[in-house]
Amino acid sequence: MKARVHVMLKNGVLDPQGEAVRHALGALGFEGVDGVRQGKVIELELADGTSEAQVNKMCEKLLANTVIESYTVELN
């Protein structure tokens, strides 16, 4: 079984990497980009029987800094 975890900074948290990407896009001539938020995707190969609750615990303890980041989990 596979899980995909999407981690993003929470709204209101400054995203310097996203801002750098937005600026670079403007410098390359791409107009109309008013904001960029950058995150990460973590793919996990899991043993059969691993629950979504277990993946959430992984996120809470290691994969996401829940003070400033939010996450979503997709199980396949």
pLDDT at 21: 98
This prediction has a pTM of: 0.87
pLDDT at 47: 97
pLDDT at 46: 98
Closest CA to 58 of 71, 68, 39, 40: 71
Contacts of residue 43, defined as CB under 8 A and 6 or more positions apart, other chains included, come to 2, 3, 4, 5
Give the pLDDT confidence of 10-47 residue by residue, as tens digits: 999 999 999 999 999 999 999 999 999 999 999 999 99
Domains held by the chain: number: 1
Contacts of residue 45, defined as CB under 8 A and 6 or more positions apart, other chains included, come to 1, 2
Q: Residue 10: give the domain boundaries.
A: 2-75
The CATH number of whichever domain residue 38 belongs to comes to: 3.30.1280.10
